[in-house]
C-alpha cells in the first residue's frame, strides 16, 4: 500500500521567508557551530496539522474534509514576531519565530481541521495549538553548557515584528524526506470563504 507523508499548513509569502532567513542567519552567528540544525527557510510554513504517513487512497477523503472546513472558515491576519524555544530557553530543543493572531480565527481554523480529520482516523493533537515557525532544531548531542548558550542567544535576540500575513487559505502538502532535507509538494490548496 502506497503511503504519502502529509501535513496541512499555511504557506508564507516571499518577504516573510526573507525575514526568517535574515533572522536565522543572525541567530546562527551567535550560537556554537553545529549546535542547531537550521531548517531550509524556503520550506518554512505554518503547520496546522501534521497528518503523517497517509495511504494514497485516503487523500481524496482528506481533500473533501478540508474543502468543507475552508468553505466555513473566515480569513485572518497573522503577525510574525518574536523568537523563542520549545520547551523553553533553559532546555532548548526547537528554535522558533512566533505567530500572533488575536481574533481567535486561526485557532478556530486549526480546531476545525482537527475535527474534520478525526472521523477519517487521524487523532487530534493532544498538545494545545501554539502557532509558530520552526527555524531550527537543537542538536541533542550537545552538552548542557552549549544548550545554555543557545537559550541565552535566543533571549538576547531582539527580533520584533517581521511582518504581517493575510491568511486567506491553506494547503495539503506532501513531504518527501531526503538526505539534503525535506522536499515539499502542494497536493491541494484551499481558499477561506467564511465570513468574519
pLDDT at position 182: 84
pLDDT at position 89: 92
The domain tally of the chain equals 1
pLDDT at position 47: 97
pTM: 0.93
Decide if 196 is inside a domain. Answer: no
**Average pLDDT, integer, range 45-53:** 96
From 86, 41, 27, select the one nearest 184 (Cα to Cα): 41
pLDDT at position 144: 82
CATH code at position 83: 3.90.1140.10
Which one is predicted more confidently, 182 or 38? 38
Decide if 76 is inside a domain. Answer: yes
Decide if 180 is inside a domain. Answer: yes
Q: Specify whether the CB–CB gap between 164 and 78 falls below 8 A.
A: yes
Tell me which of 34-38, 83-87, 124-128, 152-156 is least confident.
124-128
**Average pLDDT, integer, range 145-168:** 93
**What 3-state class would DSSP assign to 60?**
helix
**Average pLDDT, integer, range 105-127:** 95
User: Does position 173 have pLDDT exceeding 80, yes or no?
Assistant: yes
Which tens digit of pLDDT belongs to each residue from 82-102?
999 999 999 999 999 999 999
pLDDT at position 56: 94
Which tens digit of pLDDT belongs to each residue from 12-24?
999 999 999 999 9
pLDDT at position 69: 98
Phi, psi of 164 (to 5 degrees): -120, 150
Confidence at 51, pLDDT banded by 50, 70, 90: very high
Helices (H), the chain: 14-28, 59-72, 105-117, 144-156
Query: Mean pLDDT for the chain?
Result: 94
Confidence at 177, pLDDT banded by 50, 70, 90: confident
* Residue ranges making up the domain that contains 32: 3-191
Confidence at 175, pLDDT banded by 50, 70, 90: very high
Q: Specify whether the CB–CB gap between 99 and 46 falls below 8 A.
A: yes
Residue with cell 497528518: 51
Amino acid at each position: 500500500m502506497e503511503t504519502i507523508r502529509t501535513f496541512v499548513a499555511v504557506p508564507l509569502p516571499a518577504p516573510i521567508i526573507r525575514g526568517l532567513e535574515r533572522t536565522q542567519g543572525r541567530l546562527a552567528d551567535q550560537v556554537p557551530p553545529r549546535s542547531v540544525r537550521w531548517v531550509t527557510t524556503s520550506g518554512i510554513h505554518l503547520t496546522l496539522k501534521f497528518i503523517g504517513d497517509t495511504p494514497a487512497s485516503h487523500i481524496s477523503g482528506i481533500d473533501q474534509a478540508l474543502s468543507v472546513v475552508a468553505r466555513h472558515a473566515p480569513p485572518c491576519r497573522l503577525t510574525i514576531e518574536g523568537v523563542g524555544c520549545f520547551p523553553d530557553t533553559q532546555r532548548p530543543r526547537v528554535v522558533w519565530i512566533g505567530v500572533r493572531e488575536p481574533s481567535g480565527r486561526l485557532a478556530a481554523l486549526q480546531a476545525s481541521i482537527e475535527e474534520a480529520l478525526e472521523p477519517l482516523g487521524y487523532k487530534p493533537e493532544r498538545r494545545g495549538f501554539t502557532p509558530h515557525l520552526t527555524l531550527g532544531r537543537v542538536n541533542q548531542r550537545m552538552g548542557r553548557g552549549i544548550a545554555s548558550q543557545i537559550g541565552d542567544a535566543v533571549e538576547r535576540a531582539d527580533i520584533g515584528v517581521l511582518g504581517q500575513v493575510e491568511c486567506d487559505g491553506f494547503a495539503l502538502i506532501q513531504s518527501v524526506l531526503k538526505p539534503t532535507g525535506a522536499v515539499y509538494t502542494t497536493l491541494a490548496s484551499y481558499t477561506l470563504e467564511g465570513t468574519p
